[in-house]
A and B are shown apart, each in its own frame.
Chain A
Amino acid sequence: MKIVMAIIKPFKLEEVRDALTAIGVHGLTVTEVKGYGRQKGHTEIYRGAEYAVSFLPKIKIEVAVASDQVDKTIDAITAAAKTGQIGDGKIFVINLDHAVRIRTGEADAAAL
């Protein structure tokens, strides 16, 4: 099992969710985050006071999938979140040791 973690543009969240649902991924955790990569920050101006804002708002999504689903998941997220502009985000894949569904006690693949 793997956790696929993706940092995406906030306005791409719905498209990514639709794409994941379409390939049979039915659980998703979303967090509002701030950060920077190659896009760096941007400038905000308030009555002439200019501020370089280094941290941009992004959405972090985390999905737990079976190992053989990982490539499909990455493809779905990439296709849905891509605009081709700098700042589209990144995908990280992390090993997942164990999973439990709290309500039933089901474990691992059955819990996903």
Chain B
Amino acid sequence: MRFKRPYRAGLTAFAVALLTATAACAEPTINKGDNAWMLTSTVLVLLMTIPGLALFYGGLVRSKNMLSVLMQVFYTVCIVTLLWVLYGYSLAFTGGSDFIGGFSKAFLMGVTPDSKAATFSVDANISELIYVCFQMTFAAITPALIVGAFAERMKFSAIALFIPLWATLIYFPIAHMVWYWAGPDAIADAAKALAAAADGAAKTAAQAKLDEVMADAGWIFKKGAIDFAGGTVVHINAGIAGLVGAILIGKRVGYGKDLMAPHSLTMSMIGASLLWVGWFGFNAGSNLEASGGAALAMTNSFVATAAAALSWMFAEWIVKGHPSVLGVISGAVAGLVAVTPAAGYAGPMGAIVLGLIVGILCLFFVTVVKNAIGYDDSLDVFGVHCVGGIFGALATGILVNPALGGTGIMNYVTGKIDDYDLATQMVAQAWGVGTTLVWSTVGSAILYKVVDVVVGLRADVQTEREGLDITEHTERAYNM
């Protein structure tokens, strides 16, 4: 998967090390089972976005804005899909700097049906084109999550411009920072070469080579932050961008006065359920192999989600007097968000605790905190995705602890699980959360301002009152 830096020419010692390494290691192989699972996972993640997320969001808006939401989500999927193969994949998943990759795989240059991408196991590769498509679906859903924050009031032309800019300047760099690394084969090869190095000079050269391979990774990855399936990259990233947008664009006309009840919780329930189904591709697929690790991620994505749905439901029942459908499905989504970074690291019992807490935490944010601060995040992108994402990212640092049933963190140099240290891991996780928050907040604010200057962000009051469907798209969702 990952671009391996070419050797700096002229260093004979490196060549020696390379020969040793090549002699010791066979070319990584592609397992058809892994490929089959990743093909499946890829379409499952597409299912999350369309129709899953589109229906979940669409049901939550008023019927006059249903089509605008469906359109925004569908548009996002299509535009990001194209950007991804043109330059997005290259910027995210080739070496370059700590913050962004290069253009060596732009237009999928050099990526053929025979190309291989690394997984998390030595000597187990998948076809690179599958990895391209799998990661493409992540790039597509992330900006689609944002549109919920400013739903019912943003011009489509503004969204059409904002989404490609945001994907390019916010998502691709963050994906690079969190997920880009040289891969297990490169590290294991370099480590073997070091072990095999006979004399001092060879050892120095092999050590330098290992250091180089280890340095060939994104900024957050190198901080030691772990994010299994995108708690930082996807949820914190989109969630904070949504909050910034909701604040900059302003409240909907009539917010706090008019009835803004969801027009179809039936649609939202279908959407949330499709999100849950698709999320198995997202989380269990992020294991990149059809192995026990995928099974663990699947188990965690079942139990954390169920726990969060119930904790939200019961908390609402106790506090407000009634258990609600919107509550139970919102809790499920919050659970899915929180378990995303932890899916392959936590044990199932840890995942249940994670879910129980996040359901109550997100309920608290979307009811108490949102009303206290007074921003209009239409569909609670911040309250569910950012808050749930931050909680999940930090909790992952705790739940990965083998003493709590977690998997621990693999060290590909030693080939063993590293000793766990709470403080070290939490600092690393905080780096991941903090970097993403700062990058996305500042970058998104700038992009909203740019779009505002170019096409204007907000629909006029008359358009908003009439609804975006008929004014922007000249269609109605329901002709009955």
Asked whether, in the complex, the Cβ of B366 is within 8 Å of the Cβ of A47, the reply is yes
Q: Looking across the interface, which residue of chain B has its beta carbon closest to that of A53?
A: B259
Interface of B is mostly: helix
Asked whether, in the complex, the Cβ of B367 is within 8 Å of the Cβ of A46, the reply is no
Distance A10 CA – B363 CA, assembled complex (angstroms): 34
Q: Looking across the interface, which residue of chain B has its beta carbon closest to that of A45?
A: B320
Distance A7 CA – B294 CA, assembled complex (angstroms): 59
User: For B326, what are the chain A residues with a Cβ–Cβ distance below 8 Å?
Assistant: 46-47
Judge whether A48 is part of the interface by a CB distance below 8 angstroms: yes
Digitize A5-26: 1 where CB-to-B-CB distance is under 8 Å, 0 elsewhere.
Answer: 0000000000000000000000
Quote the shortest CB–CB distance from B340 to chain A (angstroms): 21
Judge whether B322 is part of the interface by a CB distance below 8 angstroms: yes
Distance A48 CA – B355 CA, assembled complex (angstroms): 20
Asked whether, in the complex, the Cβ of A47 is within 8 Å of the Cβ of B259, the reply is no
Distance A110 CA – B368 CA, assembled complex (angstroms): 65
Judge whether A97 is part of the interface by a CB distance below 8 angstroms: no
Judge whether B324 is part of the interface by a CB distance below 8 angstroms: yes
User: For B330, what are the chain A residues with a Cβ–Cβ distance below 8 Å?
Assistant: 47
Q: Looking across the interface, which residue of chain A has its beta carbon closest to that of B367?
A: A48
User: For A51, what are the chain B residues with a Cβ–Cβ distance below 8 Å?
Assistant: 259-261
User: For A46, what are the chain B residues with a Cβ–Cβ distance below 8 Å?
Assistant: 261-262, 324, 326
User: For B380, what are the chain A residues with a Cβ–Cβ distance below 8 Å?
Assistant: 47
Judge whether B203 is part of the interface by a CB distance below 8 angstroms: no
Judge whether A102 is part of the interface by a CB distance below 8 angstroms: no
Quote the shortest CB–CB distance from B55 to chain A (angstroms): 17
Number of interface residues of B (CB under 8 A): 17
Asked whether, in the complex, the Cβ of B324 is within 8 Å of the Cβ of A49, the reply is no
Quote the shortest CB–CB distance from B121 to chain A (angstroms): 42
Judge whether A71 is part of the interface by a CB distance below 8 angstroms: no
Judge whether B370 is part of the interface by a CB distance below 8 angstroms: yes
Judge whether A44 is part of the interface by a CB distance below 8 angstroms: yes
Asked whether, in the complex, the Cβ of A45 is within 8 Å of the Cβ of B260, the reply is no
Asked whether, in the complex, the Cβ of B261 is within 8 Å of the Cβ of A48, the reply is no
Total number of residue pairs linking A and B with CB closer than 8 Å: 26
Quote the shortest CB–CB distance from B360 to chain A (angstroms): 13
Distance A23 CA – B260 CA, assembled complex (angstroms): 45
Quote the shortest CB–CB distance from B472 to chain A (angstroms): 24
Judge whether B371 is part of the interface by a CB distance below 8 angstroms: yes
Judge whether B143 is part of the interface by a CB distance below 8 angstroms: no
Asked whether, in the complex, the Cβ of A49 is within 8 Å of the Cβ of B260, the reply is yes
User: For B467, what are the chain A residues with a Cβ–Cβ distance below 8 Å?
Assistant: none
Asked whether, in the complex, the Cβ of A48 is within 8 Å of the Cβ of B370, the reply is yes
Distance A8 CA – B259 CA, assembled complex (angstroms): 25
Distance A44 CA – B260 CA, assembled complex (angstroms): 10
Judge whether B96 is part of the interface by a CB distance below 8 angstroms: no
User: For A44, what are the chain B residues with a Cβ–Cβ distance below 8 Å?
Assistant: 261
Judge whether B327 is part of the interface by a CB distance below 8 angstroms: yes
Distance A46 CA – B371 CA, assembled complex (angstroms): 13
Quote the shortest CB–CB distance from A42 to chain B (angstroms): 12
Distance A47 CA – B59 CA, assembled complex (angstroms): 14
Distance A46 CA – B367 CA, assembled complex (angstroms): 9
Distance A60 CA – B260 CA, assembled complex (angstroms): 26
Residues of A45-62 at the interface with B, using a CB-CB cut-off of 8 Å, are: 45-49, 51, 53
Distance A44 CA – B363 CA, assembled complex (angstroms): 17
Distance A47 CA – B260 CA, assembled complex (angstroms): 12
Q: Looking across the interface, which residue of chain A has its beta carbon closest to that of B380?
A: A47
Distance A21 CA – B363 CA, assembled complex (angstroms): 51
User: For A47, what are the chain B residues with a Cβ–Cβ distance below 8 Å?
Assistant: 326-327, 330, 366-367, 380
Quote the shortest CB–CB distance from B379 to chain A (angstroms): 9
User: For B259, what are the chain A residues with a Cβ–Cβ distance below 8 Å?
Assistant: 51, 53
Quote the shortest CB–CB distance from A37 to chain B (angstroms): 20
Which residue of A46, A48, A53 has the most chain B CB atoms within 10 A of its CB atom? A48
Which residue of B259, B327, B366, B368 has the most chain A CB atoms within 10 A of its CB atom? B259
Q: A45-B324, A46-B324 are in contact. List 10 more A-B contacts (CB 8 A).
A: A44-B261, A45-B322, A46-B262, A46-B326, A47-B326, A47-B366, A47-B380, A48-B363, A48-B368, A51-B260
Instruction: Provide 26 A-B residue pairs closer than 8 Å at the C-beta atoms, listed in order of the A residue.
Output: A44-B261, A45-B320, A45-B322, A45-B324, A46-B261, A46-B262, A46-B324, A46-B326, A47-B326, A47-B327, A47-B330, A47-B366, A47-B367, A47-B380, A48-B363, A48-B366, A48-B367, A48-B368, A48-B370, A48-B371, A49-B260, A51-B259, A51-B260, A51-B261, A53-B259, A53-B261
